[in-house]
A = this chain, B = another copy of it.
Amino acid sequence: MSLTLQRIPAFSSALFCRCSSKSFQRHCSRISSKKVRVSDALSSEETGANVRIQGWVRSVRPQKDNLFLHLNDGSSLQPLQVVASSHLNTRDLTFGCAVDITGTLEKSPSKRQNVELHAQHIKVVGECNPVDFPFKIKERHSLEYVRQFPHLRCRTNAFSSLLRIRSEATAAIQSFFRDNGYVQIHTPVITSNDCEGAGELFQVEPAGHKNDSDDPNPHFFSVPAYLTVSGQLHLEVMAGAFSAAYTFGPTFRAENSQSRRHLAEFYMVEAEIAFTESLEDLMKVMEDLFKAATEHVLSSCAEDVELFHKYTAPGRRDQVDLMLKRKFNVYVLYFSSDYFYFLKKWGCDLQTEHEKFLVKHCGNVPVFVINYPYELKPFYARDNQDQPNHTAAAVDLLVPGVGELCGGSLREERLELLSQRLAQYLQLREFGSVPHGGFGMGFERYLLCILGLHNIKDVIPFARFSHSCLL
């Protein structure tokens, strides 16, 4: 085999001469300037340091002697002010272009920032035609307008703040569970069972697959396979070994809806806890999770959160503080026979209006609603055996502005009771079955709640819903 190897001393400059002599020269000319992110520059105490900062121009203000730029690199909402001699201004230095700047960090005379960058070199590395660019300098674009540009909306202040918050909220949720001894399980996206009997499933087959009824084995997985609607079944398996397990990932509904509350792909946090004998245990986890994640987000993304609380949802910050301070309410719902008939007739659960009424009634503090009529809850919810009411040990957490944020239940662990209801579920209970319970929290709903936003499409990087799968 005529294959020749040449070893390159690791990370020697020779390597990069080989890769591209141009990039090497660029590299050498910058070697004395330390690469710094905007967020670090803004909090820097040190002045006079020679730095190199790369990012996108958010504003250009040429004056007689000086040129002022605002530079953003996505590390913070606040841009870095750049001051340069006006002879560094060029035609291609426009709103939206990408630049590579070297200079020194200096104390700013303005009150609006501590530090500014005095530029010695400005290089436009990526041009941006301001006529074609859909966002305009100094203009505030509506969330609806911005949504049309999935490949660019992360360049707006609001959506970049949202995605930083989403990233930190994700980290906070994972830390919460890890600190409390939960094992994170990557429950599968593709599954052969339909956990909730939810209907509205997406089915999966290789592209080009034909549904040929003559084929004795027409399926890639030998059985019909679907996108998961919940990781609960898989988590129940894991709770039977780890006592406490959680999953955080995408779930799917093929709902033909264009509403502001529905997506075809959305994120769920689900937890399952073994040896749980009361809804109290579950409610404590939900409340602690909500409060821990929210406190983390408020402190680690203060500036980003403030953008929403100030401009998009005035008053929401006080509501959030109240939610954190107060103990969540717990309510039992008694259904009169009339109302119960209504629910049965329509086959539906508490409706959004009822949820909002309840939360408002509770002074905008989140409220747990427990013990729903047995018939309204899925087969796996534990029978409270409280005839004549006959309820299931299920709980929903309702929050201001959103309605249902979490839903959970004690699970029916008694083999004989389950046998009466469903065969598929049985083998999970056969070997060392334990009382357990769990819940799921809609992650997008959580973000809507704490930020006071109204459209689920505004809190997910790339929204998927019926008739829309952009990028």
Residues of B within 8 A of A18 (CB): 332, 371
Q: Is the CB of A278 within 8 A of B154?
A: no
Interface of A (DSSP majority class): mixed
**Known contacts A237-B154, A334-B6; A56/B432 CB under 8 A:** yes
**Known contacts A241-B154, A242-B75, A279-B19; A7/B330 CB under 8 A:** yes
Residue of B nearest to A237 (CB): B151
Q: Is the CB of B471 within 8 A of A237?
A: yes
Q: Determine how close the nearest CB of chain B comes to the CB of A158; give it in whole angstroms.
A: 12
A residues 402-453 touching B (CB-CB < 8 Å): 413, 427-435
**Known contacts A336-B4, A384-B20; A471/B203 CB under 8 A:** no
Residue of B nearest to A247 (CB): B461
Residues of B within 8 A of A356 (CB): none
**Interface status of A243 (Cβ within 8 A of chain B):** yes
**Known contacts A96-B432, A243-B75; A207/B224 CB under 8 A:** yes
Q: Is the CB of A278 within 8 A of B16?
A: yes
Residues of B within 8 A of A220 (CB): 202, 254, 256, 264, 466-467
Residues of B within 8 A of A152 (CB): 237, 431
Binding stretch for chain B, among A41-49, A112-120, A136-144, A182-190: A182-190
A/B interface sample: 28 pairs, CB < 8 A: A3-B333, A8-B332, A8-B370, A11-B284, A19-B279, A74-B243, A128-B430, A150-B237, A155-B431, A155-B432, A163-B185, A163-B242, A164-B242, A166-B186, A167-B183, A170-B184, A171-B178, A186-B250, A189-B250, A190-B227, A192-B470, A193-B471, A201-B206, A202-B205, A207-B224, A220-B466, A238-B461, A249-B249
Q: Is the CB of B203 within 8 A of A431?
A: no
Q: CA A365 – CA B192 in complex, angstroms?
A: 41
Instruction: Kindly list 4 other residue pairs between chains A and B, CB separation below 8 angstroms, not including A11-B280, A154-B241.
Output: A5-B333, A54-B243, A127-B432, A202-B204
**Interface status of A314 (Cβ within 8 A of chain B):** no
Q: Is the CB of A5 within 8 A of B358?
A: yes
Residue of B nearest to A338 (CB): B2
Contact with B along A90-132 (1 / 0, CB 8 A): 0000001110100000000000000000000000011111001
Residues of B within 8 A of A294 (CB): none
A residues 323-377 touching B (CB-CB < 8 Å): 327-336, 338-339, 354, 358, 361, 370-371
Residues of B within 8 A of A371 (CB): 18-19
Q: CA A318 – CA B192 in complex, angstroms?
A: 41
A side interface size, CB within 8 A? 151
Q: Is the CB of B211 within 8 A of A37?
A: no
CB < 8 Å neighbour of A471 from B150, B234, B434: B234
**Known contacts A277-B23, A432-B128; A207/B254 CB under 8 A:** yes
Q: Is the CB of A466 within 8 A of B221?
A: yes
Q: CA A244 – CA B27 in complex, angstroms?
A: 19
**Known contacts A74-B241, A205-B203; A330/B384 CB under 8 A:** no
Residues of B within 8 A of A206 (CB): 200-203, 254
**Interface status of A396 (Cβ within 8 A of chain B):** no
Q: Determine how close the nearest CB of chain B comes to the CB of A241; give it in whole angstroms.
A: 4
**Interface status of A399 (Cβ within 8 A of chain B):** no
Residues of B within 8 A of A163 (CB): 183, 185, 238, 242
Q: Is the CB of A221 within 8 A of B468?
A: yes
